[in-house]
Amino acid sequence: MTAVPPRDQAWIMAHHLRLRTTFDSVAGSYQNARPDYPAELYADLLAITAITPPAHLLEVGCGPGKATLPLARRGFGITAVELGEALAAEARRRLAAFAGVSVVTSSFEDWEPPAGVRFDLAYAATAWKWVDPEVKYAKAAELLTEGGHLAVWDADHAFPAGFDPFFTEIQQVYDEIGEGDGAPWPPPRPEERFDPTATEFGASGRFTVVGTRRYVWSSRYAADEYLALLDTFSGHIAMEPAKRQHLYQEIRRRLAARPDGRLTRHWSVVLTIGRRL
């Protein structure tokens, strides 16, 4: 693989930092538009880490509280760090009933806990990829108790056998407007996709992987519901308005031609858990 020139790497980093701030513009709609994570994920997380309430957890990039609420309801104390001011405010509103939960407005890279405070578990739900790779593992390890755990997971679009042909059709529109990623189509099936997170854990020298799990499920969307979902993705938020308008018109047109006006989108989540060395 050819090395990326330094100037291009600087551009990529600047672009990455810009994209990670886009979610704040959809703070009011993110919680309802995005799917809930599977109940099995939380059950596996607690079984593998063996943590129980009132253990003190650290969440990196809590958004409006998507993954905070299920753990707060179980009685855990949680410090949730969120970069976006509007997202942090939304999380505080949704978590107001939980006295043991606090939401801090800051980037994870810049945030420092009170002196002497350490956590039994740090976790990040669809947020870890936005944290500076030069910082995240080292800092997480420093903030954990001896033998503490780090858990991360992302919710990605999945393409199992027999996935909805709508996505093959609409991919042509993405390509036409210059928003395709150039990858071969169709994408690999969930079980064939390589997830680099476990490798990253090991390469950090700070964690040993103690568990990985994959969850795949599907959701049905009408046009308005699906467009509301797309509006929570950084690439669509940052897309040029004319391109986004054309794409959304095509989505509406194609779904209107279906008898029930709906599509089926599959989701895949890979949970990776590491224990601090």
Give a yes or no: residue 245 inside a domain: no
CA-based nearest residue to 160, from 185, 192, 131, 129: 192
Instruction: Give pTM, 2 decimals.
Output: 0.91
- 172 exposed, middle or buried (CB, 10 Å; 0-12, 13-18, 19+)? exposed
Give a yes or no: residue 240 inside a domain: no
Give a yes or no: residue 7 inside a domain: no
Confidence of residue 8 (pLDDT cuts 50, 70, 90): low
Confidence of residue 22 (pLDDT cuts 50, 70, 90): confident
CA angle 205, 208, 209 (to 5 degrees): 130
Q: What digits encode the pLDDT tens for the residues 61-79?
A: 999 999 999 999 999 999 9
Residue 15 predicted with pLDDT over 60: no
Say how many domains are in the chain: 1
Position 118 scores a pLDDT of 97
Give a yes or no: residue 33 inside a domain: yes
Q: What digits encode the pLDDT tens for the residues 78-102?
A: 999 999 999 999 999 999 999 999 9
Position 13 scores a pLDDT of 46
Say if residues 220 and 214 touch (Cβ distance below 8 Å): no
Domain enclosing residue 154, as ranges: 14-159+191-219+265-276
Give a yes or no: residue 6 inside a domain: no
Amino acid at 119: F
Q: Which residues lie closer than 8 Å to 241 by C-beta, 6 or more apart?
A: none
Give a yes or no: residue 165 inside a domain: no
Give a yes or no: residue 250 inside a domain: no
